[in-house]
Structure 1
Amino acid sequence: MLNIVLHEPEIPANTGNIGRTCVAVGARLHLIEPLGFKLNEKNLKRAGMDYWDKLDVTTYINYEDFLEQNSGAKIYMATTKAPKVYTEVRYEPGCYIMFGKESAGIPEKILVNHKEECVRIPMLGDIRSLNLGNSVAVILYEALRQNGFAGMGLAGQLHEMSWA
């Protein structure tokens, strides 16, 4: 099982969408406070639709609390400041992939201590960043692909329909 970590997320709809994605792939969601919203907020629930109650979510009072409760975890950090592209690392089962808040990303004081674990999504030079939910989906699905989409449905079925 993979782990998605949101460091101080600010927009409830983004977190709701990310929660829904986590449910769809069997990932855990970790939220590091302070949050820019309340967990019972209407916009969060609306974006997460009826999946929020199926979500494995844990909150932490701060980054230090997160580290203490997840001691020894392999943590990759998504940042536009990384020299390495997200496809250049091997995501182990059970690893953590951290994303920063929408307005500022992961604080640089955290990033400098994890240079080798920092990854980026390539973009054109004048674009600041992708939407947080999109960034999570891009990197999460690469991690899932690397692990053979373990336990996930890999084939759909089209149904023949008469259009007469």
Structure 2
Amino acid sequence: MLNIVLHQPEIPANTGNIGRTCVATGTRLHLIEPLGFSLSEKALKRAGMDYWKDLDVTTYLDYEDFLNRNPGAKIYYASTKAPQTYADISYEEDCFIMFGKESAGIPEEILLKNQEHCVRIPMINDIRSLNLSNSVAVILYEALRQHNFSHMQLEGQLTKYHWK
């Protein structure tokens, strides 16, 4: 099972969307405080829709609390400042992929200490970053693809017709 970590997320709709993606993929969500919203906010629940109740989510007081409660965790750090792309990595089945807050990303002190595990999504120079929930989806689905989408439904069904 993969793990998505949000370091001090600020926008409830992004976290709600990410929560829904986590439920749809069987991924755990980890939230590192302080959060820029309350977990009871309507915007969070609205974005996560009725999936929020099914989400495997854990909150942490701070980054140190996260590290202490997940000893030995293999963590990848998503940042626009990273030296390698997300596609350059082979993601372990139980790894953690961390994303920073919308306004500032992951603190540079954390990135510097973990530079060999920092990854980026390629973009043209004029763009600051992708939306947080889009970034999570891009990297999470690459990790899932590398594991052949194990445990996931690979074929859809039409409602009124049958595929030939």
Let me know the Cα RMSD of the aligned residues: 0.9
Partner of 2:28 in structure 1? 28
Partner of 2:117 in structure 1? 117
Report the secondary structure of 2:49's partner residue: helix
Q: Which runs of 5+ in 2 are unaligned?
A: none
Amino acid at match of 1:37: F
Compute the displacement of 1:157 (Å): 2.0
Distance 1:23 1:153 in 2: 13
Compute the displacement of 1:156 (Å): 1.0
Partner of 2:161 in structure 1? 160
Residue-by-residue CA offset, 1:45-96 (whole Å, 9 max, x unaligned): 0000000000000000000000000010000000001110100000000000
Report the secondary structure of 1:64's partner residue: helix
Report the secondary structure of 1:58's partner residue: strand
Report the secondary structure of 2:36's partner residue: coil
The alignment status of 1:134 with 2:134, answered yes or no, reads: yes
The alignment status of 1:61 with 2:58, answered yes or no, reads: no
* Equivalent residues, number: 161
Per the normalisation by structure 1, the TM-score is 0.97
Partner of 1:4 in structure 2? 4
Partner of 1:45 in structure 2? 45
The alignment status of 1:91 with 2:91, answered yes or no, reads: yes
Partner of 1:73 in structure 2? 73
Runs of 4 or more above 3 Å deviation: none
Distance 1:114 1:103 in 2: 21
Partner of 1:148 in structure 2? 148
Distance 2:124 2:58 in 1: 34
Percent of aligned pairs with the same amino acid: 74
Distance 2:12 2:142 in 1: 24
Distance 1:30 1:94 in 2: 13
Distance 2:101 2:75 in 1: 16
Residue-by-residue CA offset, 1:79-115 (whole Å, 9 max, x unaligned): 0011101000000000000000000000001000000
Q: Which runs of 5+ in 1 are unaligned?
A: none
Report the secondary structure of 1:97's partner residue: strand
Compute the displacement of 1:42 (Å): 0.5
Distance 1:18 1:87 in 2: 20
